[in-house]
Amino acid sequence: MSLIYLDNAATTRPSTAALDAMRLIGTGDAFANPASQHAAGDAARQTLEGARRTVAECLHARPSEVEFTSGGSEANNQALLTGAAHGAREGRRHIVASAIEHPSVLRCLDWLASADGPYGGGFEITLVKPQPDGVVAVEDVKAALCEDTALVSLMYANNEVGAVQPVREVCRMCRKRGILFHTDAVQAAGHLPLDFTRDGFDLLTLSAHKFHGPRGTGALLCSHRIVPASLVHGGAQERGHRAGTADVASACGMAAALREATNNLEADRARLEALRERLVAQLERIDGARVLGPSLPERRVGGIVAVTLAGVDHESALVLLDGRGVCVSAGSACAAGAVEKSHVLAAMGVGDEEARTYLRISLDAAENDEADVDAAAAAIADVAATLRTRAREVGRG
């Protein structure tokens, strides 16, 4: 049975370019500790800085603004702690975020709000709900701001329904009021054009495995205007902002993958949109199907298709689809394999009953083709019919 992998929003297959870049670390002196004061250490350090320059170039940032991390969750935590530290120094203890942020943002905000949180704890948190299509309105963010607001955190693109948020507009509004702005760009980097400097972001996070880089590595972009707070304490690596021996191989793999994704960005976006339209057209023929998220292409990440299927329990659907070799998900892959109620759908106003029928299908321009789309759509239609028949038989019994 051939595998049809349509869970690319969870993770992507490492590219040949990324794997080749990582293998090169073992063929020369770059295997050494980049903090070591000898020729081998210097070779490793130069290799690491080359990767940093590549990431900076792809995102239009300064190399000194790129801090390597273990992934998006760590980078998001460090970004929020940086904003909180900045606010605490100025006596501002209010943070605004959207209600559809990744758990690594929401749980960190809970910590900052708690009495025993960092910087004295007790931060006031305001979560702004999105509109029914998953897009947060700029005016709603504006209404949430106050004199004590230190930081606004708004993800670039949502990981469950693919909605692209008005980050540039919100960032400009924050800059005018002296408020730091952070965007979680994990689902956007390598898929949408990002310009850290032009857009004036203070903090931006990304994760390599979302664009065919290695798992377990990411980056925090922190503007030269502010100093990032330290999350990992110890040595003076990453300019004293993150202790621990640098993972040179993973940094090089991420840089190579990001360079390749950036070079292919426009062609991949066009291909993904075509695949998405083909998939959506077939899904909408299924009785009781509803595609969620923005209708306009410019307001969504092309690879993510969120659909609900009336009367079809998504846990059962995942099992049956997996048995047919079709890999999709029922939301974020951050709950140890569990299917939990989606806070994103709840914030969008989707009822509990409908939310239990939600599937996320996430395409990749390099990995998927029309045959994958057609086979997956047929399998979903068949599984939906099977589960509805079972439900009717149970009801009659």
Catalytic residues: 334
Q: At what angle do helices 248-263 and 16-24 cross, to 10 degrees?
A: 150
Q: What is the distance between the alpha carbons of residues 167 and 181, in angstroms, rounded to a whole number?
A: 9
Backbone φ and ψ for 60, nearest 5 degrees, come out as: 60, 50
Query: The tokens of 203 are what?
Result: 């903090």
Q: Which two tokens stand for residue 259?
A: 């360079």
Cα–Cα dist 366/271, whole Å: 9
Q: Provide the angle, in degrees to the nearest 10, between the axes of the packed helices 265-283 and 370-396.
A: 30
End-to-end CA distance of the chain: 35
- DSSP, collapsed to helix, strand or coil, labels residue 382 as helix
Element (H, E) at 377: helix 370-396
C-alpha neighbours within 13 Å on the C-beta side of residue 326: 27
